[in-house]
Structures are given as structure tokens and as C-alpha cells.
Structure 1
């Protein structure tokens, strides 16, 4: 056994009592567990000297080596533990898989007419950032509200710099037209100031200011301007009624956990400047036997370290390390951060709501998992499989009359869709509309990675099509030397109606036709439809990107500055396409040879 290979007594004799982080290493140098300790000797010794639950016993039996990192303080150990868990993803740690960066609203500061925009990721651009928001949807919804309330531009800088006349946003009164000088810097700055106040939660102050401006405009008999201020005030009051959290004025997160067995759901409600920005559910991977308190501690550590923090975090389960977390977060944020459980009034109501939402979300997920288990068992019986499949893949092809062909690969495991493993493939160098060649290219690119060990081999591979598509896929896999997976062709049947699908397997003469209410058929339909949806989405995105791309970008020697110069000189692509070679050559930086290339490219395109 692995435990016999590790002499824990000898190791403990030399172990320090200082704070630090320990890593338990198993076979093939795989990290089993990462932990932190105020006293390394005391904490690591506990794994070998006291009665442990079954999960910990199994983990300890696999230890071959323990590595330690000594830190100055327990707070440093906590931060390092979090970094190692995120990078190493040990098997026996609680893991928070959803670790996407927060979405923000960005207000630029390096232009005369600043712009509002959606931002995700590193906050490198100059200006102010407002948020974070729980989702991209809530961020864009706020931007849409701002556009209706305050006509601050939200266009890209390249679009803004190359306008010769106001765009549609000006026509529908959602932008004041700074690109063509239709608003003074002073008036625009006032709209920006009001937008900032709104984002800071100072809606009452904005309303008060607008009331004063409305009265002033009325006295000056500027009734159209007064009516605009009146409409802004009404809109702001409606928004305030819907979003304001009574009794709250600061930034806080409400974090509630619900746990059942080895499944847990954590709900986070975001309150910023007294406004409810929405909520988000998280489902961390929970090893067997971990308590509610340990799951919540791991979540808060992984979720908030190295990220922007609210002033207060309200939780529904007491944490033994609350004081340590508060100290670490306070140091990180350079301001006092509080973590509390005992709350009253409005906060207690919101905490109760978050806990209720966590329970409902967890129950819904458990029901879905139970349904998934039933579908997998039915699929095993329907296809006469030796075991329940652990990983399934499905491929689909999407194009518009052969243009910009895209292939998709979706992956399902025993819990459902595994979206982190989805892949899309831009197909090149095939005859337009040749789906067999497109599928062959997708399979070659995908399964070369499988052969290299970069991607696990699925148990089942579904193909949207009948015998012909199935045979083509089989030939491709044989050429690649890939074996050991079961191929299933999913044809829509004679009438191409849902519920009438025919399943084709290699070596079987007649198709399998499952009843319309079969759980196995429902799972196959879900996988196929997901592959279809993912392929269509990818194709539309590629098509939209190609429509926006300028033909000038494909001409060697034409960079951003020359493109900008050409567009300013001729006022747009349409006028540019009407220009002759001599006209193009008059533009600064454009030689006669380059002008001929531009002319040729524009006329080949048209």
C-alpha cells in the first residue's frame, strides 16, 4: 500500500511547528490534497494519530510523500493554499469550478467624450469600473437602462472616430451625437456625471439635480428640454422603486449554502450601493464527508481572494476561521471587511431568501441528476452496452450554402453537459457544402488530440446522420488509428419529426427505433440538439464577424493607420470603392503599387 511507502513517523520528527501549507502527494506525483495550518506539525500529525472518516483514511493510504511550504503567518498560508488549490485542483479538496472573471461597466477617461462599455477580465484600461455584476446579462441590462436615461455613448472607439454623420442611436435618442459635434462638452459631461451618480447608487441626488434643471428650463421657456428632464425623473423613480433595497446603502454580498450528501449549492446575492444586482448559483465539487462549514469556508476563500470585495459578507453558516478571513480580506482590500451571520431586519429577510433559493436550486439539480441517471441506464439497455457510458461526444456541421463552415463537438458526462470540454472548428480548404469532408476535418483535428492524450477518449460518439455519415466517420477514425469507442448514427427518420429518430450502429443491418417516451431517446435528442445549437451559434458568430470585417484588413501593407486615413479621406467604404487608382495614390502613405492592390481587392470583393 502507498502508506507503507511513506514513513510518516520519520517525517513528523523533522516537521516544523510554524505556519504553512502542506501538499499530500500520491502515485505519479499527483497532488491528492492541499491544506494550510497554523501549526504544521500539529495539523499534519492529526492525519496519522487520530480516528479519521473513511474518505480521509483512503486519502492517507495513498500518500507517498508530503511537501511543505513554511510561511510567516497563517494569513499567508491561507492565500497560498487558495492559489495551489486553484492551480493543482487536488482530488480530495473542495473545488469551485466556476471561476470566471467578473463583468464590469467601464467608463473611459482618456477622451473628451468618455464612453460606457461592458468589460470582463483584467481591469487595465484607464477610467472607472463599476460592479462587479453577477452575470453578463445583468451588466448589459444596466447598460441598456443607462442608454435610455443618459445619452452617453456606448460605441467602440474605432466606430466613434470614423463617423461622418450621427448613427441610429442618435436618431432614437439614446446618444447625444458627440462623434459629429451635436452636443457640447459641458452638456455631455453633465450626462456622464449623472450616469456615474446612478451607478454609485446616488439616484436620489440625480433626481434632485434633474428637478432643479427641469424647473430652470421651464422658467426659461425651454419646454422641450424640461420635458426631457421630466421623463428622466420618471424613469429613475420607476427603476428606484424596483431595485432599491430598503434600509441598505452600502455594498454587501449575501452568501447562503444548502448541502445534501455530497452535493452543495451556494447562492450569492449581490447588493451594490443599495441596489440588488441579482444572484448567482455555484455548485462546488464536494468530497465525501465534508461539513457545511468546511464547504462554505473553501468557497469564500477561493471565490473572494484576489478579487474585488464588498464591504460586508453575510453568511448563513458560522465559520470557525471568520476572524482569519476578515483579516486577510481587510489586508487585500485595504479597508475593513466584515463577515457576519447574526443579522436583523432587512438583512435577515435577504439571508432567508438566499438560503431558500439555495435549497430550491440544490433540489432542482439533484432531480436533474436523478433524471440523468435514469436516462443513462435506459441508454445502456437500449444500445446493449456493457456499462453505463461515462463520456459521450456528438459532432455537427453548420454552414450557409457552404459558406464559412463550422464544426461543433459537445461533450456529456454522467452529470449532463460538460461545457468546459465543448469545442468548435472553423473548416477550411474543402468543397463548399461537402459535409463529409467537413466532418472528416473535424474528426482529424479532434482525435489527433485524443491520440496525444490531451483529451480523454469517449465511450460513445453520436453522429447526426444515417448509415452514410456513420460509415464515413468510421473510415476517418480507422485512418487515425482510433478504436475502442461505439459509434451511433442518429437519423431523423422518414418524416424528420422528433420522436421518430432511427439509431444506426456499425455491423447492425436494421436501425433501432425507440419509443417516443423512452428516457434513452430523450437523452440522445438532447445531445444531438445541443451539438446542433452549438454549431449554429458558432457559424452565426463567424458569419457576423466576417460581415463586420473590412476588405482592407486582408491587404498586405494596410495597417490600422492607413485604413483610418483612407476612410477619412473618402468618407466610407462605398466611396472608397468608387475611387480610381490615381485617387487612391494621392492619399498620404499609399504608393501606386499599393493603390493598385487596394483597387483590385475592392473590385474583386464586389
Structure 2
């Protein structure tokens, strides 16, 4: 049993024999974990009696618990609702971190309009529109919408453009739009294409192909060969999509199917989202169980998932049925009684769907576990290569971007267990440095990050600095200034050798560069975080420059004041001509020297 402070020990002894929510806090009184319990005393004490769980995350959770609070509820149902509310409010470090469902798109078709269009939306409203989805892959659904727009020549313009156009756009001229904006197609004919689009989105492509074949033969018999040829081309395009549309549910009731497997105290959850009989999209994610039963973690996941979801199906199919399942069913139906059913089938088509989901869960768990092992080994190798104090589960990389000191910015990107953690990405405008001084800029940024990290208790295990020994030294000074001794720091810089460009690393106390094994995963991880930091900094810098360019592209260029800006505009006539000018032409303007001309060319590249 882990050692506990006296105050914590007393709280453990005073835990009530009632249902409620327990809250773990660290030494800064920050909430790090929230859970619910049917009996608070039993659940909370079980964390400190666990001796077999050797996972790093579990050990970190237990070692960071310095205080415990709890809230008693009248029932386990109330505890479930309260747990969910508190998790969403405080977002504790060790609780389930759901994939934000704002990434999920649906296709909306408002058939009450004279000329409907396909719209991508994130929220399905309770209106008269047709909705198809959700789709987890934005790229996939955009590709589908593009295919349907092209196939049936549907409009892509806004309602305002539709009503205000007096002549068709270029899409009509190249055969990708039927130009309803200028009545090139009758509403009846246009809406026939919309009906066919809906057929495809419902998975009824084969039926549509059969109807189109009849129509094609009819046009051919009437010797309308051009029309017959158009339909033939549509049939060919549709046949290519049929292979990807497999009906898995003949009831055509919207349903979500979830299954899970447990491996090494982690739960691997798989979800299949079935709409109109077709698997529209899927979900798979891994969460630590943290000494809770697999059923409890799974049901907590479902509670959190559907409390934040924008799309509710008619049925949720899961592999278990117990008191918790009934409780969750009540909670999810609070706002819409008896509209949603949680089903645990033992036979029939629903059981086959559950088995399919389980097979996917098992396969994803095996694949992910093998991949996780590779990354765990790579993290250990990084620790050994640089003699780090910590395994760098959480690392952050920082880079500076400016043009001769102008629009000086920095980026901070975060990787968790070797992969991007975009929720922790940060952008910085440099405040204390007004010239091209990467060393001072890095010192400022690392100082700011440490101050915030101390307050929020979220400092990384490892800082990675894009640069050489000098950049490393200036960044390390920020750690010394705050007396931070338990966070590691390295820098990465490119160098040339007989083989070309290689990456070398520097650490404090060693003047010689360190090289990692070529093509190794550990090198790839560090190169990826450096490249991502560079990309993020450049993108932010260009965005700031772009804003200024919209106001005045010459504004902010060092040495180019109002008089010289007027002289340039008077000489060339407009910004476009200045942008096209070469060095000698720019130097031909009164008062513009060579350095200023080069700076103008560099600044106007955007």
C-alpha cells in the first residue's frame, strides 16, 4: 500500500458507506481524477490496496494523490450524472479523454428549398431536413459530397449566390453544375437528381443503377443518344461505389454498436455507427482502467460519450447487461423518454453486428498494443541516449520564426508517448525581444511556459529546442531561473556530413553532439516533433504577416516608412507591380538601398 500523509489517511478512514462521486487532488489542490461509486468507502480504498498494477500512468495517478474530496448523492444514478458533469467541467488529467465529436460531419439536404444543396454540418437539428452521418473522416465525407455534386451536377453555391446570380458560373461551363441559379434546369428535374442523391446516401445504389439503366435504354430507343451517354457515364461511376457499400442491417434503424477487449489493464473500445443499414463510420480508442472494473469503465465511457454527442441513435448495442446498463439507459433517456434503447443481444442480426464489432476491437487492440510496445521501447531509448531523468512520455518542442526580427513569434508543440497532442499546442507572440534574437526569444518563451506549467501543474517531461548549443543554453537558463530540476531539456540541429544532412542533439554538460541510430523510431519521433514545431511556427508567422498585408503589405518592413512607401507606390503604381519587381528595379526608387530592396522582396513573398 502506498504511503499516505496523515490528513489523507484520516479522510480514507472517514469515507461514507454511500453512493457518490470521489475527487482526487494533487499537492497543488488541482483535480486530477474524478470517479463515481455505489459505495464510496469501498471504491476509494481499493485504489490504495492495489499492488499488481505496474503501469506508469497508474503509478503516477496514485503517487500524485495528496487530497481526496467526495460528494454524496441520493442514488447511483445521481452519482453517474454528477460524475459526468464534473469531468466535463474540470477535465482531470487522468480521466477519459474523449475524441471531440466536433470532428464528426453529417450531410444535410434541405428538401424544402426549391434547389437544395449538399451541406456539411456538425449538428443534426430537429427540422425537416434529411441528415446522413455522422462521418468520422472529414476527408472521406468531403470526397463523397464532391463525387455526388459532380455526378448529378448539383449546385455548390450559397443561397445568396443562388438568388443573386444573373449568369452561370464556370462550373456550369465545364459541366459540373446544372446552373439552377439562372433556370438552366427546371426545379422538377433538379429535384429528381436530389432524390437520386438521397438514394445513394441511403445505400440504395443498386436500385438506382437499375432505374438508370431503364432510363438509358429509353433514351437510346428514342435516339436521344447524348442523354443516354450521360446516364451511361453515371452508371459507370455508381458501379464503382457499390463495392464500398455493404448493407449490414436490414432494419435500417439508426444504431451504434460498441464492444471492447481488455489487455494489460487497458480497455480497447470499438464503435460502429450504422445509419440506413450501412456502417457509416467507426470509433476506436484506448483508456486505462485505473483499478475500476471493465464494465464500470465501459459504462462511464458511454455516459460521457453520449452526454457530449450531437448525434443520438435509436439503439445502442453493447455486450453486457447489468444494473449499470439500466442506470445508463435511464440517464440517456432523461430528455427523451423511451426514445433510445440500450440492447445486449444474445442472438440474431444484432448479435452478429456485436460480434463484428468485437472482432474489430480485438484486431485494433492487437495492432495498437504492438505499436504501443514499439513506442514504449523508443521512449526508453531516448531516455538512455540523453541520460534523462524521466521517460519522456510528454515532450514539447519550441521554435522561433521571424523575418529580420519582424513579427517575431514562437511555437510550442506537444507529443504524448511519441504522438502529437494538439490540445497542448501553443502559439506565442514574442513580447520582450524586438530584433532577430532567437536566443532571447527562446528564453522568454520557455520562461512563460514554465510559469504557466507551475500554476497548472502540467510541465512536460522533456523540452526539445530547435537549435544548437547556444539555443539550448538560453532555454536551459529559464529552467535554472525557476529552479526546475526534474524536467529534462535537449536541442536538435541539422548538420552536414559525407552522407548529406543529419540531425544531431545536444544536452547540458556535454559539448559533443549525440547522434541517434539512423532510421530508428526514436530519431523519427524527435525529427517529427521538430518538423511539426517548425511548421506550426511558420504557419503562425505567415498568418500574422497576412493580416498586415491586407492592411498594407509594406507596413512593418524595417526601414520602409511612410515616405518610402509612397515613393514605391508612386514609382510602380500598385502593390502587385512592387511584388513583381526585381532587385535592381527596386533600387531604382529614390531612397531604397540594396538591403531594403532585399527585405522588400523577402517580405512580399507571401
Contact 2:439 2:475 in 1 (8 A): yes
Instruction: Give per-residue Cα distances to partners, 1:102-132, cap 9 Å, x unaligned.
Output: 3212335686433322223585999443211
Of residues 457, 461, 464 in structure 2, which corresponds to 1:462? 464
CA shift in 2, pair 1:505/1:21, >3 Å: closer
- Counterpart of 1:54 in structure 2 is 50
Measure, in 2, the Cα distance between the counterparts of 1:121 and 1:401: 45
Instruction: Give per-residue Cα distances to partners, 1:468-499, cap 9 Å, x unaligned.
Output: 54456567x48986865554332222149688
- Counterpart of 1:295 in structure 2 is 297
Alignment of 1:432-511 (within 5 A): 436-437=436-437, 441=441, 444=444, 447-452=447-452, 453-454=455-456, 456-470=458-472, 473=475, 477=478, 484=485, 486-495=488-497, 500-511=502-513
Structure 1 residue 153, shift from structure 2 partner: 2.2
- Counterpart of 1:67 in structure 2 is 71
CA shift in 2, pair 1:526/1:176, >3 Å: same
- TM-score with structure 1 setting the length: 0.72
- Counterpart of 2:57 in structure 1 is none
- Counterpart of 2:267 in structure 1 is 264
CA shift in 2, pair 1:184/1:367, >3 Å: same
Q: Which runs of 5+ in 1 are unaligned?
A: 38-42, 553-576, 578-603
Of residues 231, 234, 237 in structure 2, which corresponds to 1:232? 234
Contact 1:33 1:91 in 2 (8 A): no
Alignment of 1:276-295 (within 5 A): 276-287=279-290, 289-295=291-297
- Counterpart of 1:365 in structure 2 is 368
Structure 1 residue 392, shift from structure 2 partner: 2.1
- TM-score with structure 2 setting the length: 0.72
Alignment of 1:122-521 (within 5 A): 127-156=129-158, 165-203=167-205, 206-207=208-209, 210=212, 213-214=215-216, 217-218=219-220, 221-246=223-248, 248=250, 249-287=252-290, 289-307=291-309, 308-333=311-336, 336-342=339-345, 344=347, 347-397=350-400, 407-414=410-417, 416-425=419-428, 436-437=436-437, 441=441, 444=444, 447-452=447-452, 453-454=455-456, 456-470=458-472, 473=475, 477=478, 484=485, 486-495=488-497, 500-516=502-518, 520-521=522-523
Contact 1:138 1:278 in 2 (8 A): no
Structure 1 residue 421, shift from structure 2 partner: 0.9
Structure 1 residue 260, shift from structure 2 partner: 0.9
CA shift in 2, pair 1:153/1:82, >3 Å: same
CA shift in 2, pair 1:454/1:239, >3 Å: same
Measure, in 1, the Cα distance between the counterparts of 2:457 and 2:30: 20
Of residues 6, 20, 35 in structure 1, which corresponds to 2:11? 6
Contact 2:196 2:208 in 1 (8 A): yes
Contact 1:408 1:423 in 2 (8 A): yes
Contact 1:395 1:409 in 2 (8 A): yes
- Counterpart of 1:562 in structure 2 is none
Across the aligned residues of Structure 1 and Structure 2, the Cα RMSD in angstroms comes to: 4.7
CA shift in 2, pair 1:324/1:402, >3 Å: same
- Counterpart of 1:105 in structure 2 is 107
Measure, in 1, the Cα distance between the counterparts of 2:247 and 2:319: 19
Measure, in 2, the Cα distance between the counterparts of 1:540 and 1:360: 43
Contact 1:266 1:281 in 2 (8 A): yes
Structure 1 residue 268, shift from structure 2 partner: 1.1
Structure 1 residue 150, shift from structure 2 partner: 2.3
Structure 1 residue 265, shift from structure 2 partner: 1.4
CA shift in 2, pair 1:50/1:300, >3 Å: closer
Alignment of 1:590-601 (within 5 A): none
Contact 1:293 1:318 in 2 (8 A): no
CA shift in 2, pair 1:77/1:216, >3 Å: farther
Contact 1:499 1:516 in 2 (8 A): no
Measure, in 1, the Cα distance between the counterparts of 2:173 and 2:483: 59
Measure, in 2, the Cα distance between the counterparts of 1:85 and 1:450: 26
Structure 1 residue 393, shift from structure 2 partner: 1.6
Number of matched pairs: 537
Measure, in 1, the Cα distance between the counterparts of 2:302 and 2:197: 32
CA shift in 2, pair 1:47/1:344, >3 Å: closer
- Counterpart of 1:34 in structure 2 is 35
Deviates more, 1:124-133 or 1:348-357: 124-133
CA shift in 2, pair 1:448/1:209, >3 Å: same
Deviates more, 1:296-305 or 1:401-410: 401-410
Instruction: Give per-residue Cα distances to partners, 1:482-538, cap 9 Å, x unaligned.
Output: 865554332222149688322233554332234436665444334323434545666
CA shift in 2, pair 1:259/1:533, >3 Å: farther
- Counterpart of 1:81 in structure 2 is 83
Measure, in 1, the Cα distance between the counterparts of 2:158 and 2:417: 43
SS in 1 for 2:304: helix
Instruction: Give per-residue Cα distances to partners, 1:178-206, cap 9 Å, x unaligned.
Output: 34443333332332233234334444664
Measure, in 2, the Cα distance between the counterparts of 1:441 and 1:206: 62
Contact 1:103 1:119 in 2 (8 A): yes
Contact 1:256 1:354 in 2 (8 A): yes
